[in-house]
Amino acid sequence: MSSAETSRSIDTVMREERLFPPPEAFSHRAHFKSLDEYEVVWEAAAADPPAFWEKLAREELHWFEPFTETLRWNEPQSQPFVAEWFVGGKTNACYNCVDKHVAEGRGDKVAILWEGEPGDSLSLTYAELQTEVSKFANALKSLGVVPGDRVSIYMPMTPELAIAMLACARIGAVHSVIFAGFSAEAIADRNNDAGTKVMLTADGAWRRGKALALKETVDEALAKSATVEHCVVLKRTGQEVPWTEGRDHWWHDLMQEASADCPATPMDSEAPLFILYTSGSTGKPKGIKHTTAGYNLYAKKTYEWVFDYQEDDVYWCTADCGWITGHSYLVYGPMAAGATCVMYEGAPNHPAEDRFWEIIEKYKVSVFYTAPTAIRAFIKWGDEHVDKHDLSSLRLLGSVGEGINPEAWMWYHTKIGGERCPIVDTWWQTETGGIMMSPLPGAIAAKPGSCTKPLPGVIPKIVDEQGAEVGADQGGMLTVAHPWPGMLRGLWGDDDRYKEVYWSKVPGKYLAGDNARCDSDGYYWIMGRIDDVLNVSGHRLSTIEIESALVSHPAVAEAAAVGRPHELKGEAVAVFVTLKDAEPTDELRKELKLHVRKEIGALAQPDDIRFTNSLPKTRSGKIMRRLLRDIAAGKELVGDTSTVEDYAALAKLRDDEE
């Protein structure tokens, strides 16, 4: 095969020919009904982003005091590289998410439909939510929490977790939610970095029927968290807990004494709303800082646009509140819109592999938002779990967190969506605060594997190493050319790193850290993190491309591709594969190599194929590529690679941050 032929065939996996236009019935009642309509709005917003956002901010948020300046943005050549939106205004994110609906007569609408892992459930209206949040806000005040104080939250996915976040917002405290799977060490690091004053947790958390000892882990962390004065404990599992008198308080005791009268505190538009720690390319987690008005508006509008919010929707986002998706699309976005949100506490396969589908049937979920890693697990578990349930209430499906392989996209489309539901593949990051690129489901036809087009007010540019914009179909670094209201406002306590990571490499633009290309239809294809892209014999290869090719083979459940040093090629492709039912034989290894060669081309053919029972993943479900790279490079001892290895066990030896 000539090199021209090879590079043409590389493109075939990611250049999906299939186009899925929005179903007529869907477009008919959608917010954006046609591509033309989207383009008109996008062009107008791009011509004057501040004017576009100003109008929305005035109309859609409640203002205690109106803002006087829409955007204060020192061109990033100067200091401090931080955009300020809606300057001079005062609002409150909790008010916008709760009180506004009650004030406008929608207090009886259900806000949260909660399903506990053991099968218990609870429903809360917006009016009830207002009472609970107000009481807990008073409880926090009784512990001395004042505006600007940091509150760490390490809780299971219970309604109280959302109540805690909103209660912080209500009184201007800054929450830092720490996913309830992190270690004591990780909690302490975050507490110390944020200077946390109060810690919220629970006695335990249900996970596949077992009670995890959250309070014990927190106690271990608090021994190393000098700034923490109080710890509030929700009783969830009822297990025995260690107790420190004076420092520890039961949630229910505080609530019993708390008054439900706690008006939302008017906060500056740019008052910090929360910190959320996320992993960077180096070891130390970054405390991504988001502020009040811009974030709240961005979460609300992007929720309404992308999920085509309708008053009667039952919306379910499966993300944990420990991640940005839980912040923006379980709490701040849908609640600002006044949506009814399903919240589920536990694992997708407890008590059985059909739990998600059972929940969809039970609550008649109409909009479902989950991650490709979950979708691939469902595929592996088998269609019989899906077939047991009536999923006809669904009208829209979403995906987030990583690129969705075309194969998984097709399964999601046919098996879950019954070929009638559009799929929104949403590209964004903890840093962006909300979705940046996604199909608007009534307007933009989907191409499986592409996050399609930027939302109104978002101006992406793909640039080369010199910062020059590249042409259609040329890969490059994804940047954003104009500030948007949901953007991060810095890294907590680390201005230098903020500048260095996001603003130094490409002057004047936000550097996302992903590679992407834009095809001639203006569709964007994310090619993985900058450091996940392989360079094999001078050719740019995305790990996702290779993984997609492998997953399209009937024997393969999940695949991860990494580069390893190679004398001649620079980098060689090494892949890690989990199988559905097939035997891990040498024949199959050969067959898979040929399959990738067939799907992508000779240069993408893996040099190594290793079979594994499970891929090592971070607790947020991301494949631990650095660990795999070390295994592939022979830096990590794994024993005999001709047998099936359980690399997930190795992951436990590593810091979860990667």
**Chain residues in the site for ligand WTA (CB under 6 A):** 278, 324-325, 400-403, 425-430, 451, 512-514, 526, 529
- We find the least distance from the C-beta atom of residue 469 to ligand WTA, in angstroms, to be 20
Structure tokens at 406: 């075309």
Structure tokens belonging to residue 432: 């962006």
Closer residue to ligand WTA, CB minimum distance, 149 or 320: 320
> Which residues are CB-contacts of 165 (< 8 A; sequence separation ≥ 6)?
153, 175, 177, 274, 321, 327, 331
Is 88 marked as binding a ligand? Answer: no
In total, the chain counts a number of residues equal to: 658
Kindly tell me which of 163 and 371 has the beta carbon lying closer to ligand WTA. Answer: 371
Nearest approach in angstroms of CB 164 to ligand WTA is: 21
- Residue 171 vs 288, nearer CB to ligand WTA: 288
Least Å from the CB of residue 546 to ligand WTA: 15
- Angle (CA) 105-106-110 rounded to 5° is 155
Q: Is 599 annotated as a binding residue?
A: no
| Closest separation in Å from C-beta 400 to ligand WTA | 5
310 annotated as belonging to a binding site for a ligand: no
| Rg from Cα positions in the chain | 24
How many angstroms separate the CA atoms of 156 and 120, rounded?
14
Establish whether 236 is an annotated binding residue.
no
- 617 labeled part of a ligand binding site: no
Residue 430, marked binder:
yes
Please give the helix or strand (H or E) that residue 6 lies within, else none.
Answer: helix 3-14
For residues 365 and 526, which CB has a smaller minimum distance to ligand WTA in the complex? 526
Q: Whose Cβ is closer to ligand WTA: residue 149's or residue 402's?
A: 402
Query: DSSP letter string over 131-162?
Result: HHHHHHHHHHHHTT--TT-EEEEE--SSHHHH
| Closest of 188, 183, 185 to residue 152, by C-alpha | 188
Q: Is 537 annotated as a binding residue?
A: yes
403 annotated as a binding-site residue: yes
Taking 3-state DSSP, the helix, strand and coil percentages for the chain, each rounded to the nearest 5, stand at 35, 25, 40
Cα–Cα distance for residue pair 170/138, rounded to 1 Å: 10
The verdict on whether residue 514 carries a ligand-binding annotation is yes
Identify residue 475 by its one-letter amino acid code.
G
Alpha carbon distance 118, 126 (integer Å)? 25
Question: What tokens does 213 get?
Answer: 């000892």
Q: Nearest approach, Cβ of 432 to ligand WTA (angstroms)?
A: 8
Nearest approach, Cβ of 542 to ligand WTA (angstroms)? 10
CB of 198 to ligand WTA, least distance (A): 26
Measured from the CB of residue 396, what is the shortest distance to ligand WTA in angstroms? Answer: 15
Do residues 190 and 216 make contact, with C-beta atoms less than 8 angstroms apart?
no
CA distance 460 to 436: 9
In the bound state with ligand WTA, the residue whose beta carbon lies nearer, of 483 and 513, is: 513
Q: Which of 285, 584 has the CB closer to ligand WTA?
A: 285
Q: Is 131 annotated as a binding residue?
A: no
CB-nearer residue toward ligand WTA: 95 or 182 = 182
**Angle (CA) 191 212 644, round 5°:** 100
296: nearest Cα among 261, 267, 262: 267
The one-character DSSP state at 530 is: G
Annotated binding site for Mg(2+): 551, 553, 556
- Annotated binding site for ATP, which residues? 401-403, 425-430, 514, 529, 540
Please give the annotated binding residues, written as ranges. Answer: 207-210, 325, 349, 401-403, 425-430, 514, 529, 537, 540, 551, 553, 556, 597
